[in-house]
Amino acid sequence: MRALFARCENGIMNCITPALQAGQQVRLISGPFADQLATVERLGDRDRVRVLLNILGGLTPATLSAGDLAPA
């Protein structure tokens, strides 16, 4: 709910998915890696985003829904 309220301005939802760009830092807002920071690698089809997660000292690619991400 906090992530949804963070996207509201004066009680009105601005947009469901944030505008993302390659190289941008994002925070995962749901799933097993919630609150983890990642870097957008590229934008895909159908609202999918490929990100790089820093897991155990290495960069691991993952494809997620844009709705699961928020700008960091």
Domain ranges, ordered by start, for the chain = 18-71
Share of the chain above pLDDT 90, in %: 51
57 has a pLDDT exceeding 80:
yes
User: Helix (H) and strand (E) counts for the chain?
Assistant: 1, 7
Task: Give the helix/strand (H/E) hosting 4.
Answer: helix 2-6
Decide: 62 and 51 in contact? Cβ < 8 Å.
yes
pLDDT tens-place string over residues 13-43: 555 556 789 999 999 998 899 999 999 999 9
Whether 51 shows a pLDDT value over 80: the answer reads: yes
Sign of dihedral through CA atoms 61, 66, 67, 69? positive
Q: Quote the pTM value.
A: 0.73
Q: Is the pLDDT of residue 56 over 70?
A: yes
Assign domain 18-71 to its CATH architecture. Roll (2.30)
